[in-house]
Structure 1
Amino acid sequence: MKAIILSGGKGTRLRPLTYTGAKQLVPVANKPILWYGIESIVAAGITEIGIIISPETGEEVKAKTGNGERFGAKITYILQDKPAGLAHAVKVAQPFLQDSPFVMYLGDNLVQSDLGLFLEQFRAANLDALTLLCPVSNPSAFGVAKVDEQGRLLQLIEKPKNPPSNLALVGIYIFSNIIHSAIASIQPSARGELEITDAIQALIDQQKAVEARQIRGWWLDTGKKDDLLEANRVILDTCLQSEVLGEIDEKSQVIGRVQVGPGSKVINCTIRGPVTIGSNCHLENCFIGPYSSVADQVTLIDADLEHSVILQGAKVEGIHHRIVDSVIGQRAHLKEAPRRPKALRFMIGDDCQIELN
């Protein structure tokens, strides 16, 4: 069994952050989103992983993620020269996949379920395709599945006006090698892409063994700012363990589950967890509220922060009103003059400098 993770695309819904970087490398709880998928796949026993990259962000993904050694895997990078659809990504990965069954995992997804359980079901039932689903409150915004009582997949519909169910496609699929012939039989959709849903529908029409399973626990799509913040909240709530490796002075107060990385200094601050703070940070005269993630080499001086994500190398200085529900990009610099509103909300891209007057 092999796996491919899709880490291309333009990330338009997370701009301005994704003007300068890959959306799959945006951190959740100080770990790139992509890495959660890699760890889930390795935990399921798959160590041969192909990562589909784009010309725009591929080198950054390679530099950040490496050859897979840190995950106990072997990673092969596969260039998809244009965003021509999920089925096209499988097509360009075919030389890597060869005749092996495989998992296809969208790199901006986070799921709580154990992938290994679904692999066991795929093998035990000798399936040709297994699609993972999750109940959602707004199915019209997703690809939706129609299934029978036995879990057989009957139809896939992309963003239907009248959904046949509330079961959305999670973005994790398990295929036998027969999917390659199904992809070869389909034509580009109206938007000019080879759709994986069309290939799965071709298997259904051929009466192949195609089934669906609901995941257990949460599923987080991190495509927008609010989704990213919600993913950060959920991961901190469910996964964070207290660990202080940096320095916290005697004037500071730490409440709840808090991580502080090595080389970081916390001076005269109140930190109310769950909060994670990376390495080599400097925090002084700050309040850091729940559900905040502060990446490596961040400087926060005279700032109040809550339910926010601060990326590597950012500086926030002299902000005398609380920053909430915000994402601040790498190396961004934010400082304030007086008379601001009671709460500030930001979506700030990499390398910005902003002064509030």
Structure 2
Amino acid sequence: MKALVLAGGSGTRLRPITHTSAKQLVPVANKPVLFYGLEAIAAAGITELGLVVGDTHAEIEAAVGDGSAFGLQVTYLRQPAPLGLAHAVLIARDYLGDEDFVMYLGDNFIVGGINDLVERFAGERPAAQIMLTKVADPRQFGVAELDTEGHVVGLEEKPSRPKSDLALVGVYLFGPAVHEAVAELKPSGRGELEITDAIQWLIEAGLRVESSVISGYWKDTGNVTDMLEVNRLVLESVEPLVQGQVDAVSELIGRVAIEPGAVVERSRVVGPAIVGAGARIQDSYIGPSTSIGASCTITGSEIEYSIVLPRATIAGVGRIESSLIGHDVEITSAPNTPKAHRLVLGDHSKVQISP
């Protein structure tokens, strides 16, 4: 079995971060979210990986390399534009051949890995196997309809009137029949080749499509809120470890990891939290569920429930929370300047102005 990992999306929901960075490389607990997927694939015993990349291919190729760090053999497949999940299967046709494969979205995060899913597929050999999870608003996802025995009988992509609350998780397993399905597809109203349409084609062709409803944790880290939540979850399992320097007046509380070369001076760090290699924390408070990237500098500031990417500087800022701060960002306090208000008010106006 091979794997096909999709890392060609533009990440519009994570802008402005993704104007300059691949969304799959935004870190949670100081490790790119893409790496968690690659590790899950390798743990399932899969060694051959086709990595679909787009405009950010250079950045992703530099981060992943030949895949040997993950125990994988990586072949890069260029997608000219993010034209849908089924389009990624289409361009990977020659690479995949007639082998079974798992397709994994590079910005998804799944607790527990995919070992059981791969073993079940190998044993039962359906035409396709999908993972489902219950969601509060299925209109934002591909949605599956099951019969009374739990078999998949229909799929819709982002329906206005969902027939169930079961959304497709970003992991799919396919046999070679999916290539015939993809070849028959026409672009949807979104201008994309939808993988839900390909699976629906398999169902209508009388081929077996199986599903698993997962009870564990899954997130599509496509927006800041979900990215911060995944970061919180991963940090819950961080092991307390001090590999850098912490002075005698600083305080580490709970599960805090201080990576090599990091320096903490006159500061308080409350876990779960991680301070990246070479970072410097001075006269500051780092609160729970916070990841500070490598070579960051934080002085005279407070930050909590946030992700700070490498080489960012935060100085003299009262408090920051629930934030995603990009590479090489500089945040400083504004100088105190005289305040003035210029008003043009209609008759009988009532205005309240804060001092």
1:347 corresponds to: none
| 2:10–2:22 Cα contact (<8 Å) kept | yes
Counterpart for residue 52 of structure 1: 52
Task: Report the equivalent of 1:25.
Answer: 25
Instruction: Give yes or no for contact 1:33–1:108 (8 Å, CA) kept in 2.
Output: yes
| Gaps in structure 1 of 5+ consecutive residues | 340-357
Q: Deviations over 1:291-347 (max 9, x none)?
A: 00001010001110100100011000111x2110111100000000367xxxxxxxx
Q: Verify: 1:119 aligned to 2:133, yes or no.
A: no
How many Å separate the matches in 2 of 1:182 and 1:157? Answer: 16
Match in the other structure for 1:332: 329
Q: Distance in 1 between matches of 2:160 and 2:56?
A: 34
Measured after TM superposition, the shift of residue 177 of structure 1 is 0.9
* 1:151–1:213 CA contact under 8 A, matched in 2: no
* 2:6 corresponding residue in structure 1: 6
Partner of residue 64, structure 1: 63
Looking at structure 2, the residues matched to 150 and 49 of structure 1 have their Cα atoms a distance apart, in angstroms, of: 34
Q: Note the 1:131-210 alignment, pairs <5 A.
A: 131-210=130-209
Tell me, yes or no, if the aligned pair for 1:39 and 1:71 is still in contact at 8 Å: yes
Question: What TM-score, normalized by structure 1, do the two folds share?
Answer: 0.92
Match of 1:40 in 2: 40
Contact kept? 1:245, 1:261, Cα under 8 Å: yes
Secondary structure of the corresponding residue to residue 81 of structure 1 = coil
Partner of 1:323: 320
Distance in 2, matches of 1:76 and 1:243, equals 36
Q: Are 1:288 and 1:305, in contact at CA under 8 Å, matched by a contact in 2?
A: yes
Query: What are the Cα deviations for residues 5-55 of structure 1, in whole angstroms up to 9, with x where unaligned?
Result: 10011111000000001100001111101101101111111111111000x
1:239-258 aligned within 5 A:
239-258=237-256
SS at match of 2:331: strand
- Check whether the contact 2:156–2:197 (CA below 8 A) recurs between aligned residues: no
Secondary structure of the 2:291 match is strand
Q: Report the identity percentage.
A: 46
SS of the residue aligned with 2:319?
strand
Task: Work out whether residues 22 and 60 of structure 2, in 8 Å CA contact, stay in contact via their aligned partners in 1.
Answer: yes
Identify, as 1 or 2, the structure richer in strand: 1
Q: 1:144 to 1:198 in 2, by over 3 A?
A: same
Aligned mates of 2:64, 2:9 — CA distance in 1 = 17
Equivalent position SS for 2:102: strand
Give 3-state SS (helix, strand or coil) of 2:183's partner: helix
Pairs aligned (count): 337
Determine helix, strand or coil for the equivalent of 2:300.
strand
The answer (yes or no) to whether the contact 1:112–1:216 under 8 Å persists in 2 is no
2:342 alignment partner in structure 1 = none
Displacement of 1:161 after TM fit? Answer: 2.4
- The answer to whether the Cα contact below 8 Å between 2:37 and 2:108 also exists between their aligned partners in 1 is yes
Give the whole-Å Cα distance in 1 for the aligned partners of 2:335 and 2:284: 17
Q: Which consecutive aligned stretches of 4+ in structure 1 deviate over 3 angstroms post-superposition?
A: none
Q: Normalised by the size of structure 2, how large is the TM-score?
A: 0.93
Partner of 1:262: 260
- Contact between 2:155 and 2:196, CA under 8 Å: does it hold in 1? yes
2:300 aligns to what? 302
Amino acid in structure 2 at the alignment position of 1:142 = F
Residue identity opposite 1:135 in structure 2? K
Q: What residue is the counterpart of 1:286 in the other structure? A: 284
CA contact (8 A) 2:29 2:234 kept: yes
- Partner residue in 2 for 1:98: 97
- List per-residue Cα deviations over 1:152-187 (Å, max 9, x = no partner): 111111222222111101111000011101111121
> Structure 2: where are the runs of 5+ without partners?
337-355
1:194-229 Cα deviation digits (max 9, x unpaired): 111111000000110111111231111111111111
Contact 2:284 2:300 in 1 (8 A): yes
Contact 1:105–1:171 at 8 Å: present in 2 too? Answer: yes
Q: Distance in 2 between matches of 1:167 and 1:242?
A: 37
Q: Is the 8 A contact 2:250 2:266 kept in 1?
A: yes
CA shift, 1:81, in A, is 1.0
Which of 271, 274, 278 is the equivalent residue of 1:273? 271
Asked whether the 8 Å contact 1:113–1:215 carries over to 2, the reply is no
Whole-angstrom CA distance in 2 between matches of 1:200 and 1:141: 18
Q: Which has the larger radius of gyration?
A: 2
Question: In structure 2, the residue corresponding to 1:90 is in which secondary structure?
Answer: helix
